[in-house]
Structure 1
Amino acid sequence: MEGDLAYIGAGLAGMGTGIAALGVGNVAANFLAGALRNPSAAASQTATLFIGIAFAEALGIFSFLVALLLMFAV
């Protein structure tokens, strides 16, 4: 019974990777919308774009690691 609960918890933690993918898409979509409104300012905002993508992707990697820990270490 305890092993089954670990797999359920790992599945729930694994959902964070999909949510992180939605976050990356949201960051990129908002950047593209802003760049289309003001193309001259887009070049100065690319560093902010990459920082936002990195933070969103880091959350996905952390949730993936939690899922692996729940499956194999607990």
Structure 2
Amino acid sequence: MARLMKSKVWAAREFAPGSEPSPGTIKKWVEEGVIAGRIIGRTTYVFDTEKAGVESHIAAAVSLLLRE
């Protein structure tokens, strides 16, 4: 099962140092469905199965396969 992580932590995991998108950009991606996540209050979270540049449904399927 996918877990939520803060967008800043997700960006640090997925992008090279100094290349991370801004928090506003990540929030926009979540709002537009580019990446799967949730906005709770003023904080943006991204599901830990998300991979930058990979469609959400593909990333989730790969994550599921790796867990089996």
- TM-score (ref. length: structure 1): 0.27
* Higher RCO, Cα 8 Å, sep 6+: 1
Bigger strand share: 2
Bigger helix share: 1
